[in-house]
Structure 1
Amino acid sequence: MTPIQLFDPASSTYTYLLADAAAREALIIDPVDEQLERDLAILRERGLKLVWSVETHAHADHITSAAALAEHAGARTAAPQGCNIGTAAVQLRHGDVLRFGGEELRALHTPGHTAGSMCFVWRGNVFTGDTLLINGCGRTDFQSGSAAQLYRSITEILFALPDETVVWPAHDYNERSCSTIGQEKRTNARVAGKSLAEFVKIMDDLNLPKPRRLDEAVPANLSSGLRHDAGGNDGVPPPAQGYAGNIPPQTAYEWWQKGDAVLVDVRSDAEREWVGFIPGAANVVWKQWPGMKMNADFDEQIRQAVPPGKKAVMLCRSGARSAHAARRATELGIESYNILEGFEGDPDENGQRGNRGGWRQRGLPWRQG
């Protein structure tokens, strides 16, 4: 099985799509926001369900589409624990395993390019991010970088892999696609045959200009690609005092069926298409891509959707956006409630939703998009 290697010309970034052909489940590594439509199209064409969006580190040269893939395709996000990407659902540690179908991706903590950088092993392949490039390596002069740590990560962790392991880097600027551990041991100009002191001097003498998008990309990537200037960083749900209260999915369903409330689905259009929708719900988007911008027509649409005298019960994927929408509807004079756990619930670190689960896990009505 070979990974699907995708390329972003603007940043020379490689994105990798891995799939279990039998289960039709997939995982993506280092996706790029400007290539979102391309990646979604490939998933559709191949009939794949994206279950993980994974970062090797917080990038400085492009903005990730991780949050967009979570909303569009229902993927969970994962990132190295040491990178401070607080919006990632799973904070990865050395040795952690992510599963998709019957496949497993294993995390290796390889600090140096950044303090939290990770590489990922799948079958006979290693996805090296900016830690190890073809005939080179990532820079170490900013973002908590350390030449000494990078040397040890390459020589003690990556070079301990079998020589035939295929190396898939996050970047290449010379139209090369892959290498092997054995080849890099023998020929890598920065590392092969070099002592720690020699390597540190090479890195100290590079004097590279800072990445063009550094000031824009790093803050956005610490929020899984949610840009602060686009109003995309929702953070945690607001306090319950901002709306009437939080209710479980079953209660919301009962109110809706009795005619006491209107069920309002505030997820994006693409999210309902990919993940599933609830027949009969009022679809009033809270935020929409690109950039998760506010729906400028939300106020008008929610007033039209909820007749006077009825309550609004708000639903999103996990209960965060719907809390914000419930607060705004309350400000408009509508008695509004937030549905805890949302459509899918908030899985634990093993991907299990247990007994709490969201709307779909409770067996309440829904249909595939």
Structure 2
Amino acid sequence: MIFRQLNKTSCKTYLIGSEKTKEVIIVDPILNQIKEYISLIKNEGLKLTHVLDTHTHADHISGAGSLANQMGAVYAMNQNSPVRCVTSYIPDGFDCHLNDIPVKVMHTPGHTKDSMCLIFPDRILTGDTLFLDDGGAGRTDLPGGDPAEHWESLQKIMRLPDHLIVYPAHEYRGREPSSLGEQKKNNPNLQPRTKDEYIKWLTDMKPGPAEWMKDVLKANYACASDPKAAWIPADTPACEIKGTGSPEVNEQPVPTIPAAEVKRRVAANQLDDTIILDVREPSELTGKLGAIKGALNIPVDQIMQRLTELEKLKTKEIIMVCQSGGRANTAATILLKKGFKKVFNMSGGMTAYRQAEKTE
């Protein structure tokens, strides 16, 4: 059996196939690496027959549609998938053979409506339904997510044999694949809970801001072929439960300031002891929303690394800004936890700021 993980990032792409026929499938490809996938397939004399996504992805642009088109392969997903360019829909419980390798498809909604696992004789590709160890599982607060459905899906997984090695669609902290038996002992999402207890456990968590992930979902629904079809922050554990903010960060309340008030103070030049800190990516500052003149720019994923640089601003009022408020809230909570006293999130971000201009 051919089995390889192809990416160096936290997103995992698997190439699986038959040593006898050299026919292979690729599972969960990412768009900005399809040239590498194609090169590998051609250089090793493989034949790509199918490309699969285990679910509609929310943290990267899928390369499945583009790869299937370029290689003349079938693009397959679960029958509940909303992705427009899928050419083959797979039902729950579908039994098939990857040439001489038996594989069963199991519908496992909860993270998304179309989540599925691929079960081979000795391993299971779990997509975002189940991660490794304390990584838990995929978050259930995005469109199509449902804690109750996720509990049902995990009960299906719990009934599978312990010897299966778990290969998830993401791994953010270098954990190594291990047996399902180990996951049943160590993974927090697989610990004994009733459905109601599980729903409460997940609902009580605060996964952190996820507005940008909704844009990624929309891009994947539309089979985007541009890697920049949606803004995506640097490699973060976004799909994990509580992935876009640590528990400490999510529990920290953040004071807010109306965008209209910030606009008034900017216009009146009343910012002598105030810093406006824009935590968007530099490329966004020249986009349609623009930026506030004089704002300091440090992307949210760099805040922790640049705390020393920010120390000199600790006595000043800091107003955090992003597109709609989500990333600014995360950045603000980090600073508050680090002892910054006067940190505010501009409500509604630059979207609200520009709207305030229109209502003047």
TM-score of the superposed pair, with normalisation by structure 1: 0.57
Q: What is the deviation of 1:27?
A: 0.4
Distance 1:41 1:177, change over 3 A: farther
| Pick aligned residue for 2:125 from 124, 127, 144 | 127
Distance 1:116 1:186 in 2: 27
Count of aligned pairs between the two proteins:
227
Distance 1:122 1:110 in 2: 16
SS of the aligned residue for 2:13 comes to strand
SS of the aligned residue for 1:168 comes to strand
Instruction: Map Cα deviations across residues 190-231 of structure 1 (whole Å, 9 max, x no partner).
Output: 32233323322221122122447424421222244445998x
Contact persistence 1:51–1:100 (CA under 8 A): no
| Pick aligned residue for 2:38 from 37, 40, 50 | 40
Distance 1:105 1:211 in 2: 34
Aligned Cα root-mean-square deviation (Å): 2.1
Where in structure 2 are there 5+ consecutive unaligned residues? 230-360
Distance 1:40 1:16 in 2: 13
Matches within 5 A, 1:201-280: 201-211=200-210, 213-226=212-225
Q: 1:31 matched to which residue of 2? A: 29
Report the structure, 1 or 2, having the larger strand content. 1
Partner amino acid for 2:148? A
SS of the aligned residue for 2:6 comes to strand
Q: 1:172 matched to which residue of 2? A: 171
Matches within 5 A, 1:45-84: 45-84=43-82
SS of the aligned residue for 1:219 comes to helix
Distance 1:175 1:56 in 2: 21
SS of the aligned residue for 2:49 comes to strand
Distance 2:157 2:204 in 1: 24
Matches within 5 A, 1:1-369: 1=1, 3-9=3-9, 12-135=10-133, 136-155=136-155, 157-211=156-210, 213-226=212-225
Contact persistence 1:220–1:228 (CA under 8 A): no
Q: What is the deviation of 1:146?
A: 1.0
Distance 1:229 1:7 in 2: 19
Distance 1:223 1:104 in 2: 32
Partner amino acid for 1:160? R
Q: What is the deviation of 1:60?
A: 0.5
% identical equivalent positions? 32
Contact persistence 1:66–1:225 (CA under 8 A): no
SS of the aligned residue for 1:143 comes to coil
Q: 2:305 matched to which residue of 1? A: none
Deviates more, 1:218-227 or 1:133-142: 218-227
Report the structure, 1 or 2, having the larger helix content. 2
Instruction: Map Cα deviations across residues 142-170 of structure 1 (whole Å, 9 max, x no partner).
Output: 21211111111112x11111100111001
Q: What is the deviation of 1:25?
A: 0.3
Contact persistence 2:31–2:61 (CA under 8 A): yes
Contact persistence 1:113–1:150 (CA under 8 A): yes
Contact persistence 2:166–2:180 (CA under 8 A): yes
Distance 1:125 1:169, change over 3 A: same
Distance 1:225 1:123 in 2: 34
Q: 2:308 matched to which residue of 1? A: none
Distance 1:62 1:110 in 2: 20
Partner amino acid for 2:141? D
Contact persistence 2:103–2:119 (CA under 8 A): yes
* Large movers: runs of 4+ above 6 Å: none
Q: What is the deviation of 1:8?
A: 4.8
Instruction: Map Cα deviations across residues 263-287 of structure 1 (whole Å, 9 max, x no partner).
Output: xxxxxxxxxxxxxxxxxxxxxxxxx
Distance 1:228 1:215 in 2: 16
Contact persistence 1:8–1:32 (CA under 8 A): no
Where in structure 1 are there 5+ consecutive unaligned residues? 231-369
Distance 1:80 1:70 in 2: 16
SS of the aligned residue for 1:179 comes to coil
Contact persistence 2:6–2:12 (CA under 8 A): yes
Contact persistence 1:191–1:199 (CA under 8 A): no
Distance 1:161 1:57, change over 3 A: same
Instruction: Map Cα deviations across residues 342-363 of structure 1 (whole Å, 9 max, x no partner).
Output: xxxxxxxxxxxxxxxxxxxxxx
Contact persistence 2:142–2:214 (CA under 8 A): no
